[in-house]
Amino acid sequence: MRRGWPSSRPSRFSILTCPSLIPIITCGSGKVRSYDLDGKPLWELKGLSSITIPTPISRFGLLYLGSGYVLEKDNFKPLYAIKPGASGDISLGKDESHNAYVVWRQRSAAPYNPSFLVHGDYLYILKDLGTLACYDAHTGKEIYKDQRLGPAGTNFTSSPWGYADKVFCLSEDGDTFVVQAGPNFKLLGKNSLEEMTLSTPALTKDSLIIRTETKLYRIREGGRVGSK
């Protein structure tokens, strides 16, 4: 493999991600930076927590990104929605919640491990300690605050996913909590695989692939029961 170009990143802890936008997005300690495909810096945004794990996603022509390190001071867990076409430093001032390219910011909303989900017109935030929150994906308005999915001690590492009118959240215990999509929180049920699960399921055209500690499942409508 031939190296195309080198470029310095915000910090040695940076995570390289590439959502469905042409620029490359790198999230690191305290900062996110965007590059074009030739390695030229396009824009940067200061104001992430000291450890960044969630993968940015894009929807409605916006880039959603954030970080929510659980031990960050002052509960600083910022979540941003950013317009394309930015250049230079687009960081927010101390008392700002938006500017020409930052459409909105929620100061204490981002998760630590799970990535974000946009399903319909709503942005869902699954927290490691077992709560789900919902925001208007266009405006950032809070729709409902953190709602507990299971008893205390129910933890989540994998990211949520959506299908039809439902949102699914897979816990580390292998329990999938099914939530009604939309502006009103309603827990519909729970499906259990009875084994530790840390990875995010993979979605294909007609199937859901789930990996637990010792098994690999393919789940589809009308499929036979089985695992490997």
pLDDT in tens, 183-203: 999 999 999 999 999 999 999
> Region 112-133: what's the mean pLDDT?
97
User: pLDDT at position 20, please?
Assistant: 45
Residue 53 forms part of a structural domain? yes
Asked whether residue 59 falls in the same domain as residue 40, the answer is yes
219: which residues sit within 8 A by CB, 6+ positions away? 207, 208, 209, 210
Last residue of a domain, one of 65, 86, 108: 108
Asked whether residue 57 falls in the same domain as residue 93, the answer is yes
User: pLDDT at position 8, please?
Assistant: 58
CA distances to 2, 32, 57 from 117, rounded to whole Å, are 35, 19, 8
Residue 9 banded pLDDT, cuts 50, 70, 90: low
Asked whether residue 22 falls in the same domain as residue 96, the answer is yes
Is the Cβ–Cβ distance between 43 and 31 less than 8 Å? no
User: pLDDT at position 209, please?
Assistant: 95
User: pLDDT at position 198, please?
Assistant: 95
Strands 79-82 and 102-106: antiparallel
Give pLDDT tens digits for 129-179.
999 999 999 999 999 999 999 998 999 999 999 999 999 999 999 999 999
The reply to whether the predicted model has a pTM over 0.75 is yes
Give pLDDT tens digits for 14-70.
444 444 455 789 888 899 999 988 889 999 999 999 999 999 999 999 999 999 998
Residue 219 forms part of a structural domain? no
Asked whether residue 99 falls in the same domain as residue 134, the answer is no
The number of distinct structural domains making up the chain is 2
Asked whether residue 52 falls in the same domain as residue 99, the answer is yes
Asked whether residue 4 falls in the same domain as residue 59, the answer is yes
User: pLDDT at position 54, please?
Assistant: 94
User: pLDDT at position 88, please?
Assistant: 95
User: pLDDT at position 15, please?
Assistant: 41
Residue 34 forms part of a structural domain? yes
Q: How far apart are CA 86 and CA 1, in angstroms?
A: 31
* CATH assignment at residue 124: 2.40.10.480
Residue 228 banded pLDDT, cuts 50, 70, 90: low
Asked whether residue 79 falls in the same domain as residue 162, the answer is no
Asked whether residue 31 falls in the same domain as residue 118, the answer is no
Asked whether residue 80 falls in the same domain as residue 159, the answer is no
Asked whether residue 97 falls in the same domain as residue 16, the answer is yes
User: pLDDT at position 146, please?
Assistant: 97
Its domain, for residue 20, covers: 1-108
> Region 219-226: what's the mean pLDDT?
69
